[in-house]
Amino acid sequence: MIIAINGNRHQEAHLAEIERLVSAFMRRDDTVVMTDRFLDYLTDRIGSRFAIGIRHIRLTEQPRADLAIAIGGDGAFLKTAAWTGESEIPVAGINTGHLGFLAAFSFDRPGEIERHLLGGHYEVERRALLEATTPAGKFLALNEAAITRGENASMITVDTRINGHHSLTYKGDGLIIATPTGSTAYNLSVGGPILDPSVAGWVISPIAAHSLSVRPLVINDSSLLTADISLRAKNFRLSLDGKTLSLEAPCRLEFRKAPFGINIVKLPEHTFTDTLRTKLGLGG
């Protein structure tokens, strides 16, 4: 097998576990490919011997692999998912961050890594991606697209259309378009609903709406959502999974379901409600 590994550079407490994991893959003659910045970081701290036999590529190059592993928090997972692109390589997360909502594994539970990740006894769950068409090009998001007024004090107006039909006009600090995967992220913090990953829908949630009558809305993910942006200031921000663009207003954005998805590794028989209880403390 070919194993592609990426992670954030805050792993001082987990260097020994990472070295053992990589060694385990290489002992069974798997090919290990690692992003160059992550490999350089680990080599500086573990020693030059660590890099022997490991191939390295840039984060901007799509890996050819049977499995991708993200080591870190949800940010590292999102970057690794973007790294795999449209290849649909299964992505497994090992959480070394704060929440790690998308990660199925943790170095605190080495038995699960040994039995399921190394042993190959895991399940793969397909997640939808959101595609945003902007004046700056097309971009993808696994969690959400957030339209915000940025640093200026002007209220932003987002006039939406669903499949060409006028829907709602949102005025306030901004608007979030979240996937089911992202429904537990920024969307949840502004009072939006949680969607099961199997639900074929997007959540449209206002940020600090000017009107109390405006509420989050769930639409079918087969919809084409058009957003016309206006505000008194010259620029606004569009953030896609944390990557921020500064765009000029007035501006039209389009959001639709991407033609491919992301395959996320999960533990066998582990349900979405299990994750809500263990990661978010809901209902427990």
Whose structure tokens read 């069974």? Answer: 28
Contacts of residue 24, defined as CB under 8 A and 6 or more positions apart, other chains included, come to 118
E strand segments, 67-210: 67-72, 91-95, 105-106, 123-127, 130-134, 137-141, 144-148, 156-162, 165-172, 174-178, 201-207
β-bridge mates for residue 141, sequence order: 130
Catalytic residues: 74
Residue pair 159/228 in contact by the 8 Å Cβ criterion: yes
Compute the distance between CA of residue 124 and CA of residue 127 in angstroms, rounded to an integer.
Answer: 10
Compute the distance between CA of residue 200 and CA of residue 196 in angstroms, rounded to an integer.
Answer: 9
